[in-house]
Amino acid sequence: MNLRKYVSAIIVVVLAVFFLLTTTGLEFGNPKNTQMDSYMTDNGQQMAAVNNIVSGVVFDFRGFDTLGEATVLFTAVLAVSLMFRKRKEEEDYEYE
């Protein structure tokens, strides 16, 4: 039992060092590649005729991601509604 605690503590420490070490390589307020976003803010008002560029990106430039997200929400509601169904007379169904 003590071996399990020590191994999990070592793994958590390794993960923590890994997560906190990536923050020293990045620079806040100065991203490196901004070509795609410059294209979207320069041409978004003419191609999609919209004032809110974030809505234009979510629904016009990247509409497939929104379709996938709506499907994930639908599937989760399907799974919740499957857990709470009423059971009829079934066999092999006994709990102590």
Partner 1 sequence: MNMSKIVRITADVILPFILVFGFYIIIHGHLTPGGGFQGGAVIATGIVLMFVAGRFDDIKKKFSLSALKNTESLGLLLFILTGLLAFTIGATFFYNWLANGGFIFGDAVAYGSNAGFFNTAGTIPLMNIAVGIEVIGAMGIIILYMLSGISEEEA
Partner 2 sequence: MIYNLPYIAAGLIIVIGIITMVAKKDLIKIVMGLALVESGVNLFLVATGYIEGGIAPIFTNAGSERMVLPTVQAMTLTNIVIGIATTAMLLSFIMIIYKKYKTTDVTKVGRLKG
Binding positions for partner 2, rule: CB under 8 A: 8, 12, 15-16, 19-20, 22-24, 26-31, 34, 36-37, 40-41, 45, 51-54, 57-58, 62, 65-66, 68-69, 72-73, 75-77, 79-80, 83-84, 95
Helix (H, G, I), strand (E, B) or coil at 33: coil
Task: Tell me how far, at minimum, the Cβ of 48 lies from partner 2, in Å.
Answer: 12
Q: Which residue has the tokens 């100065």?
A: 30
Selection from partner 1, partner 2, none that 16 binds (CB < 5 to 8 A by kind) is: partner 2
Distance CA 89, CA 73 (A): 31
Selection from partner 1, partner 2, none that 34 binds (CB < 5 to 8 A by kind) is: partner 2
**Phi, psi values for residue 20, rounded to 5°:** -85, -10
Task: Tell me how far, at minimum, the Cβ of 89 lies from partner 2, in Å.
Answer: 18
Burial of 48 (0-12, 13-18, 19+ CB in 10 A): middle
Q: Which residue has the tokens 């999609």?
A: 48
